[in-house]
Amino acid sequence: MTNPHKGRTGVDRVVRATGYSMQGLRAAYRHESAFRQEFWLAVVMLPFSLWVGRTWVETALLGGSVLLVLIVELLNTAVEAAIDRISFEVHDLSKRAKDIGSAAVLLALLLCAGVWAAALWQRWLV
């Protein structure tokens, strides 16, 4: 049996995929306070990365680390939504999946903080 949602090709597929992605961003923003907080930090930090970064590599690392936090938060939100769709019952596997998703967000945040701390240190203290 073929998936009826996979028959799209070309520009139609790209347009629809973009629409679904925008719906996902809106849903995360609407329903996930952590994503909203990280989104608004990104609105400030991404332009600031253009000023802090001295080379295109530094700028890419600064901006990329911020975007990585948003990406991991979106994936964590998706995992949580899928688990909650199955059941709100407390279960060891559900807890493990949610905790692992949360740990991934923490690591992305630590990476971002480390990259920014190193760049700021290099810019003003060295």
Catalytic residues: 73
Which residues, at least 6 apart from 102, have a Cβ–Cβ distance to it below 8 Å?
A: 76
Give the CA angle between residues 55, 56, 61 to the nearest 5°. 100
CB atoms within 10 A of CB 55: 8
Structure tokens at 125: 């203290």
